[in-house]
Amino acid sequence: MSDESRPSPAQPPFAPAATPVATPVAAVIPAAGRGVRLGPGAPKALRALNGTPMLIHAVRALAASRHVSLVIVVAPPDGSAEVKSLLDAHALPGGTPGGGRGSTDFVVVPGGESRQESVRLGLAALPPEYGVVLVHDAARPLVPVDTVDAVIEAVRDGAPAVVPALPLADTVKEVEPATEPGAPEPVVATPERARLRAVQTPQGFDRATLLRAHETVTDDVTDDAGMVEKLGLPVVTVPGHEEAFKVTRPLDLVLAEAVLARRRLNDGF
Ligand code: C5P
C-alpha cells in the first residue's frame, strides 16, 4: 500500500455511519463441525460443558445481548431435529425456539461440509430486515456479552467488518510444513509479534458486505473477515476476551468448565 492510500491514523479506514443505528442484529452460529481434535464422540457443539451442550452456552452468550433479535443455528447436516429439541429443552434469554414470543427468535438450518458452506447456508435463512450480522463459532461458548456488544457497536458505527482480537503470548514462526506428522519443519520467517493478533468470534458485518463476500470468495478461508479482506474492504479489530477461546482440544474442555465454575462462584451464574 502506498503512503497516499494508507488511512491516516486519526481517521477510521471506513465510511462513517454506513449502517443505520437501529438496524436489527442477527447472529449465525455455525455448529456443524465434527470436532475431530476433541477426540471421538458427538459433534463438538453438542458435547456437554458442566452438563449443558456447548451450543446452548454459545446461543445464550449471543442472545444475552439486547441487540441480538435473531439467532440462526447451523446444525450438523443430520442433526437439525436434535438441535431443535435441545433449544426447546433449555431456557434461553429473551425468547423461545420457534420464535415470536420473546425478543430473540431462533432458527435451525442444516450445515455443510466446510465451515464456509455452513455459514453460507445460515445466511440463506437471513430475513431481509437484518442489517448487521454476527458470525459466531459454537466452539466459543463462553464469549462475554460485553465483547458481543463491542463488535455490534463498531459495525453500527460504520465498519463493514469487525473482529475481536487479542495480542499473542507466544512468538510465532512461519514454517515449511512437513509432509510427515512430527517431522522437523524448516523455519521460514518470524513475524514481529507486536503486530500479530489472534482473532476470535463473534465477527460482525454489515449485511451487504458479508453476503457479497460469501457470494464471490471461493478460496479456502478459516474466518469470515478473511473473505472480506479478499474483497479489498477494510476489517478492523476491537479488544477480544480471554474467555472467548475456542474449545478445540480436550484440555480446553477442562479450562471451559473451570471458567464456568468461577462464574458460578463470582456471580451465581
Ligand atoms: O473446525 P473449527 O474449530 O474451525 O470450527 C469452527 C466452527 O465452525 C465450529 O463451531 C464448528 O461447529 C463450525 N463448523 C461448521 N461446519 C463445518 C465445520 C465447522 O459449522 N463443516
Per-residue model confidence (pLDDT) at position 103: 78
- Checking if the pLDDT of 219 tops 80, the result is yes
CA of 31 to the centre of ligand 1 (A): 6
Per-residue model confidence (pLDDT) at position 185: 97
Q: Per the structure block, which three cell numbers stand in for 8?
A: 491516516
**Domain architecture of the chain: domains with CATH:** 25-165+199-267 (3.90.550.10)
pLDDT band at 63 (very low <50, low <70, confident <90, very high): very high
| Nearest-atom index, ligand 1, CA of 138 | 10
Q: Is the peptide bond between 186 and the residue preceding it cis, with omega within 30 degrees of 0?
A: no
CA of 248 to the centre of ligand 1 (A): 10
Tell me: the pLDDT tens digits for 8-60?
555 556 655 555 457 999 999 999 998 889 888 888 899 999 999 999 999 99
| Nearest-atom index, ligand 1, CA of 140 | 10
How far apart, in whole angstroms, are the C-alpha atoms of residue 53 and residue 87?
Answer: 10
Amino acid at 78: D
Ligand 1 neighbourhood includes 113 CB (under 6 angstroms): yes
CA 156 to chain centroid, in Å, comes to 17
Tell me: the pLDDT tens digits for 154-188?
999 999 999 999 999 999 999 999 999 999 999 99
How far apart, in whole angstroms, are the C-alpha atoms of residue 54 and residue 183?
Answer: 34
Could you tell me if residue 51 is left (phi over 0), alpha (psi between -120 and 50 degrees) or otherwise beta? Answer: left
- The 8-class DSSP code of residue 128 comes to T
Q: What pTM value is reported for the model? A: 0.89
pLDDT band at 1 (very low <50, low <70, confident <90, very high): very low
| Nearest-atom index, ligand 1, CA of 114 | 21
**Coil/strand/helix, residue 105:** strand
- Checking if the pLDDT of 197 tops 80, the result is yes
State the virtual CA torsion across 230, 176, 116, 52 in degrees, nearest 10: -130
Cα distances (angstroms) measured from residue 195 to each of 162, 166, 191: 17, 11, 8
How far apart, in whole angstroms, are the C-alpha atoms of residue 8 and residue 33?
Answer: 40
State the residue for C-alpha cell 464456568.
260
